[in-house]
Amino acid sequence: MPHPRFLLAANSFTAALGGLLFGFDTAVISGTIPFITKHFNLTDAMLGWAVSSALIGCVVGSMAVGKPGDLYGRRFMLKTMALLFLLSAVGTALANNLTIFVIFRFIGGLAIGGASVLSPMYISEISPARIRGRLVAISQLAIVTGILVAFFSNYLLVNTGENNWRWMFLAGGLPAVLFFILLFFVSQSPRWLVLMGKTDEARKVIERLNKGRDTRPEMEEIIASVQKNSGGMKTPLFKKPYTRIVIIGMILGTFSQFTGINVIMYYAPTIFQSAGFSSDSAFLQTVIIGATNVVFTLIGMSLIDKVGRKSLLMFGAGGMAVFLGLIWSGMTYNWFSGFALLACVICYVASFASTMGVVIWVIISEMFPNAIRARGAAISSFAVWVINCATSFLFPIVMGKMGTGPVFGFYCIATVISFFFFWKYLVETKGKSLEELEHIVLKR
């Protein structure tokens, strides 16, 4: 029998492959923009539609996956997401018109939205409280690794001819196949098993993942929590005592997108070209940003269970506001450009990756009571993707009419506001079991 630590790590890393595909699929579009624009003869609005079509799928996928996740289990639905990722990679690569391209990007978006809910949720439900933050943050590490892989593969494939963009999309098929196969070897979520009345199976999973430790108190807590909220999947979200925590979750998801991080990730080459970099150089700057994202995500992972979720969010909001302000002023008044601008963007990405980037999916996966966790996480993710979709669609249009500076000005102001929201409304979740957190949030 494999060691429990190995099983826990293997299950977590497998689930996190959903995050890697999430990161790859959202970022791969950035390198294809100049080529699909030419191939499909896109206007600014059509380009916004081509980019945001996947994000519309994310909106639908994140909102729709909660109930099936409760009915059929986290593992089964992650397998479904893996197949959708594969279908999207092949379909977008073979698309011969914009309509087909958008359809398969939408399908990929369904998978991204679903994985954004299910991957961190599954990890949080199998993890001991003392290391849950680090384990769930593996999902965020996988996301930023997927972004870096997309940026780097785009850089390698940029000179492969007129069909280079097709190869860029097709590259996502390989991790999708690996993800699907590995999911046959992971455990079910013990909390989902209890929700389904399969307590004996749940007990075996917890004992297998925590060999040598007394797991009875944890099992009793889970059963008591599920019995207390026996309405299960019929429990209304927008009804006391859940209304407040659901609204906080949605606002939290909204603020995570009003930082502007995904505008950087989706349109980085376009932004750098507008700042004076050549096409090849702009692709290289994007790889540097992707690498920064990964390195500082690792730093955030080392801090999350020591410093805490709330403190990291507040520290990150302050840091991001400073660098967003510098980018805003630099682009608006031409105070600096070129490598000075690149340095500000790198510092901004570092601030995001080491704080909010790590924390956001962790806290969404653990802040909701057992009875509504899947649907609560889904509706918070829904808010993430609605704002992400809107900003991604509007960015090329606004940039064409007003320039890039005012966009970053808006993100700077929104990030300052988020600091005060985190300070007033968030509960620190560090070191507490999911059942302990349930008592805390429902009493507020």
3-state SS string over the chain? CCCHHHHHHHHHHHHHHHHHHHHHHHHHHHHHHHHHHHHHCCCHHHHHHHHHHHHHHHHHHHHHCHHHHHHHCHHHHHHHHHHHHHHHHHHHHHCCCHHHHHHHHHHHHHHHHHHHHHHHHHHHHHCCHHHHHHHHHHHHHHHHHHHHHHHHHHHHHCCCCCCHHHHHHHCCHHHHHHHHHHHHHCCCCHHHHHHCCCHHHHHHHHHHHCCCCCCHHHHHHHHHHHHHCCCHHHCCCCCCCCHHHHHHHHHHHHHHHCCCHHHHHHHHHHHHHHCCCCHHHHHHHHHHHHHHHHHHHHHHHHHHHHHCHHHHHHHHHHHHHHHHHHHHHHHHHCCCCHHHHHHHHHHHHHHHHCCHHHHHHHHHHHCCCHHHHHHHHHHHHHHHHHHHHHHHHHHHHHHHHHCCHHHHHHHHHHHHHHHHHHHHHCCCCCCCCHHHHHHHHHHC
At 417 the pLDDT is: 95
At 141, the pLDDT band (50, 70, 90 cuts) reads: confident
The highest-confidence range among 85-94, 128-137, 253-262, 301-310, by mean pLDDT, is 85-94
At 279, the pLDDT band (50, 70, 90 cuts) reads: low
Tell whether the model's pLDDT for residue 340 goes beyond 60: yes
Mean pLDDT of 282-302: 83
Tell whether the model's pLDDT for residue 229 goes beyond 60: no
Share of the chain above pLDDT 70, in %: 86
At 1 the pLDDT is: 52
The structural domains of the chain, ordered by start, are 4-186+229-443 (1.20.1250.20)
At 76 the pLDDT is: 93
The highest-confidence range among 125-129, 351-355, 406-410, by mean pLDDT, is 351-355
pLDDT tens for 397-425 read 777 777 777 888 899 999 999 999 999 88
At 327 the pLDDT is: 86
Q: Which of 11, 61, 69, 64 is nearest to 370 (CA)?
A: 69
Q: Which two three-digit tokens encode residue 194?
A: 């209890």
Q: Which residue has the higher pLDDT, 393 or 354?
A: 354
Single-letter residue type at 233: M
- Cα 339 to Cα 281, 285, 298, 342, 343: the distances in Å are 11, 10, 25, 5, 6
Share of the chain above pLDDT 90, in %: 21
At 275, the pLDDT band (50, 70, 90 cuts) reads: low
The highest-confidence range among 40-54, 167-181, 270-284, 292-306, by mean pLDDT, is 167-181
Residues 142 and 78: beta-carbon distance below 8 Å:
no
At 166 the pLDDT is: 93
At 427 the pLDDT is: 78
For residues 146-160, one letter each, b for 16 or more C-beta atoms within 10 angstroms of the residue's C-beta and e for the rest, the string is bbbbbbbbbbebbee
Tell whether the model's pLDDT for residue 440 goes beyond 70: no
At 413 the pLDDT is: 94
Tell whether the model's pLDDT for residue 90 goes beyond 90: yes
Residues 113 and 63: beta-carbon distance below 8 Å:
yes
